Homo-oligomer: A and B are copies of this chain.
């Protein structure tokens, strides 16, 4: 009569979930976003199609969920004592994240223009941004940057050229791209261009 155990024993559901996530990402890398079938994901995960639909409403939500989970991996926030090396580390880790084959596929998948993905996108980026803000705050504390510097602006200035190359121009992206972004960002921030809006 009474619910003896309030929590439901999830059983092996978690295992299925993980397997499907992994399969989805693998299929993403192999075939790309558009040519990705629920059935092939299910098969790759050793699971039946209907089981997938039991947990995810449709293809979209499966994909966004898998991507969100994938992006949730913690990114280390550097603290070298110098804003330049800190920014360099951030920029390079961003470059690395998206230049692997998997990264490319994930990137392509996240930017499909679908409104569903937009929220996930924004959330992922915001999360990383917030976590990295201390880098700038510390630099301001050390007097490396003007007092009224907006940490978010600095980090967006750092990321912007990298994303531009990844998403718009298809220029090759490597460490020199990261380094150049650092220089631009530092020059702008030191000149006070990352202060409050005017």
Contacts and interface: CB of A to CB of B under 8 A. Distances in A.
A145 B164 CA distance: 23
A47 B164 CA distance: 38
B113 A109 contact: yes
A194 B180 CA distance: 8
A95 to B, nearest CB: 14
Contacts of A32: 113, 115
B197 A167 contact: no
Interface string A94-131: 00000000000000111111110010011001100000
Contacts of A112: 111-113
A159 interface: yes
Nearest to A129: B169
B156 A164 contact: yes
A115 B112 CA distance: 11
B167 A163 contact: yes
B122 A168 contact: yes
A168 B121 contact: yes
B111 A167 contact: yes
Contact of A111 (B111, B122, B125, B170): B111
Given A113-B111, A193-B187, A156 B167 contact: no
A193 B184 contact: yes
A33 B34 CA distance: 12
Contacts of A156: 161, 164-165, 169
A194 to B, nearest CB: 7
B114 A34 contact: yes
Contacts of A75: none
22 contacts: A111-B113, A112-B112, A113-B113, A118-B170, A121-B170, A122-B168, A122-B170, A125-B168, A126-B169, A156-B161, A156-B165, A157-B161, A160-B160, A160-B163, A184-B188, A184-B194, A186-B193, A187-B187, A187-B188, A187-B193, A188-B188, A191-B191
